[in-house]
Structure 1
């Protein structure tokens, strides 16, 4: 029984139950205090009425008797109003404080759970490439391989070290963005050329999906080259993680109205409406680390949103037709030629 209660406390359910019990006790104590005060007020009134009736001069002066009786009743009404006012104020303060305390505790518990999921994901993300690199190096050391097999192993090792480097950079960048220490290096960039180059490099590394880019030329934005490359890579790799193998990843870059839009579309399972805003939270991933199969740390979309906010752009996710998701970035400020 004690162990079960401890597990409930660890999961947050026991804390919620304990919090409700304590809050209920405080509210019931306040109500009981109010009832005792009302009862005391009635006893005071009854005592004053009896005392007034026993006074010998009250019968000989009926006007004074009525005035004194009215004073007693008025005092009782004032006490009742005072008790109701103070009790209602205390009740409101207690409930309001309880709401804010519970919300703060719940947010902290949710953040702790997300951080735990993040640690599990990062541990897995680090162990997987490290194991592959170690295996490849041991194979190269123990066996005499021909040039083709050697090149294949070395290429695989480089890809895994790139994964480690990307993960490390994401973690460091997230910390810098959270502490507001990162300042982007802004310059006029040919986003069309940048997008074509990044998607070409990604297609060279990704063999499970085809990347179909529809990019209008000579579209310029003011931004940080490295950061925008990271955003594009995060969105494409995120689509690759969840879309079935063999399905295309479609990228569109074109102006619409007064804004420039970049869209990354996949044909995966999509994102439920209730999750669309949450996917941009730090460490947040749909499902949990024990059930989800896609790799990731829960930082990619969070970093993308923060980076784009520094560039004056915004990102949202919407449903693709007939299946999948579309991550849409909008730049309010762009040009069709270099400054």
Structure 2
């Protein structure tokens, strides 16, 4: 379309349904502009009319100045369809979409003397179209994701379409249920005809008709794996869920299925194994018990009745059984079981009982765990009972013997230690270096023997309940530093470094905590090469004081870590056979820390070394 000069041009421009701006082709000054153009441009009439065109549209000049100049020079129009512009409109930068034309207007001689800028804003249309495209792409991506999920799902999934339940989609695990059959595109009864007269077909029909989801568990469905193959008894867990169209009408069924035939067979075999296990348990002399935490009912095996002296016809409750426990142990056992139930951990408790039949007291060990419903509510506890009476009596006799021998050895050893110390003092300035060295070694050996005997005595005292804690306030940093200084006096073969914490007051038995630190340092020295570092740290962790001793030694095997704090336990390692000890130091250390309400543990790697930790409550 071409304009000619005159009033007709002005009238046509002002009333045009699109934005138009007329420029002088020589200087690109705006001579005429209509309201539609101002609306699209978002600029005032005064900022455009009579002004150089690019002064008003400086923000897009670098993009379209060349095109406009080319129209002036060649007389050929320039078209831009739905282009994106960053335009300053109403004093704010906006991103819009427009279709515009730079159209030449020739004079009577055919020369270009005017330029008409035609513009139509398409922002809403473009955004709507892009939104639709985005939505369409999103829907397609979700479909693709859903299909990918179905194909990769760890369950058999298929989609049955229409009233004849035609296989529309099948994932690999569903196809694997029928490895020799062609399913896709076939109605269900054509693909799997043997289900026609089975309850499962009626269930599928009901789901399609009512839209109500059906869940089956361990349902027996006789099926063949291959077309014409033998029918097998197969068990399945499955869900049939109706699929609906946009009008909420059922148009298919989504199937999730797991074959549990092997599990059912395994359960049957397990039942046989359990029966054999029960026979073995009865033969081993272990008592089994189960307590209902809701009804307080207690079910026990015949061996458990025998251990507790309970008549065969007597009905028991958990409360009744607790009544047989010695009073001084009852609270401890109750607390241990309650804690295990609350924390969902196993429990193990040892205690004395008075058998119901009036027999002599027995020392028992009970362990077990609680079981819970889906909401986490404890339902029952089950466990085992061991009669430790004979073993405990043997331990008591052994401890009595060790205590007696240790006491008998302590008196002469004390005298010997005094004699060695006096002799060492007299030989201090002796010129006979052999005697001085010999007396020093003798003094060290007497100290080792004294520590060993004290350890045995502490074990017997601990197990007889005679170790008392003399708790006082002290600074842990000072105690650790003192113990390290003492260790440096007796051993200069290692580099001991202390990373101390800020001064914190601890309420504990300083002597016994000191013996724990001393034992950990002594072990670090014994089990690490000479010249290596031993790092001692003292840190506050929340409301606890934590001490650690790290060495660069041999390390402890994973199987041994859980036993290192057991009484008389020593790691079996040929490379450590020359290291003396009876396995009581860590046992005593653990018991001391536990009596203080703390924890003790170890982290270790073979060939890298070990870190022993213990913590104590600050308050």
Report the TM-score range of the alignment, normalised by the length of the smaller protein: 0.5 to 0.7
1:26-105 alignment runs, 5 A limit? 94-100=279-285
CA 161–217 in structure 1, closer or farther in 2 if over 3 Å, else same: farther
Find out whether 1:293 has 2:578 as its counterpart.
yes
Query: Partner of 1:263: helix, strand, or coil?
Result: strand
Q: Give the CA deviation at 1:273.
A: 1.4
Q: Do the aligned partners of 2:534 and 2:549 also contact (CA within 8 Å) in 1?
A: yes
Unmatched segments (≥5 aa) in structure 2: 1-272, 288-385
Cα distance in 1 between the residues matched to 2:508 and 2:420: 40
Give the number of the structure whose residues are more often strand, by fraction.
2
Among residues 311, 334, 338, which one is paired with 2:618 in the alignment?
334
Among residues 532, 545, 568, which one is paired with 1:247 in the alignment?
532
Cα distance in 2 between the residues matched to 1:89 and 1:266: 47
Q: Do the aligned partners of 1:136 and 1:157 also contact (CA within 8 Å) in 2?
A: no
CA 260–320 in structure 1, closer or farther in 2 if over 3 Å, else same: farther
Q: Name 1:191's counterpart in structure 2.
A: 476
Query: Partner of 2:614: helix, strand, or coil?
Result: strand
Q: Which whole-Å deviations, capped at 9, do the CAs of 1:23-59 have from their partners, x for residues lacking one?
A: xxxxxxxxxxxxxxxxxxxxxxxxxxxxxxxxxxxxx
Find out whether 1:234 has 2:419 as its counterpart.
no
Q: Name 1:263's counterpart in structure 2.
A: 548
* Larger Cα-atom Rg: 2
| Aligned Cα root-mean-square deviation (Å) | 4.3
Q: Give the CA deviation at 1:319.
A: 2.4
Q: Which whole-Å deviations, capped at 9, do the CAs of 1:120-148 have from their partners, x for residues lacking one?
A: xx9xxx9xx9xxx999999999xx95166
Q: Do the aligned partners of 1:192 and 1:220 also contact (CA within 8 Å) in 2?
A: no
Query: Partner of 1:278: helix, strand, or coil?
Result: coil
Q: Which whole-Å deviations, capped at 9, do the CAs of 1:68-97 have from their partners, x for residues lacking one?
A: xxxxxxxxxxxxxxxxxxxx9997664223
Q: Do the aligned partners of 1:266 and 1:320 also contact (CA within 8 Å) in 2?
A: no
Q: Give the CA deviation at 1:190.
A: 1.2
Cα distance in 2 between the residues matched to 1:263 and 1:329: 7
Unmatched segments (≥5 aa) in structure 1: 1-87
Query: Partner of 2:579: helix, strand, or coil?
Result: coil
Q: Name 1:16's counterpart in structure 2.
A: none
Cα distance in 1 between the residues matched to 2:602 and 2:457: 25
Give the number of the structure whose residues are more often helix, by fraction.
1
Query: Partner of 1:285: helix, strand, or coil?
Result: coil
Cα distance in 1 between the residues matched to 2:613 and 2:543: 15
Cα distance in 1 between the residues matched to 2:507 and 2:604: 29
Q: Do the aligned partners of 1:270 and 1:324 also contact (CA within 8 Å) in 2?
A: yes
Q: Give the CA deviation at 1:256.
A: 2.2
CA 145–309 in structure 1, closer or farther in 2 if over 3 Å, else same: same
Q: Give the CA deviation at 1:217.
A: 3.9
Q: Name 1:169's counterpart in structure 2.
A: 454
Q: Give the CA deviation at 1:220.
A: 2.0
Cα distance in 2 between the residues matched to 1:104 and 1:271: 33
Q: Do the aligned partners of 1:265 and 1:320 also contact (CA within 8 Å) in 2?
A: no
Q: Do the aligned partners of 1:317 and 1:328 also contact (CA within 8 Å) in 2?
A: yes
Cα distance in 2 between the residues matched to 1:275 and 1:92: 29
Find out whether 1:274 has 2:562 as its counterpart.
no
Q: Name 2:490's counterpart in structure 1.
A: 205
Q: Which whole-Å deviations, capped at 9, do the CAs of 1:231-287 have from their partners, x for residues lacking one?
A: 011111111111111111110001123322100001112111111110100000011
Q: Give the CA deviation at 1:208.
A: 1.6
Q: Give the CA deviation at 1:164.
A: 1.2
TM-score of the pair, normalised by structure 2: 0.33
Aligned residues: 230
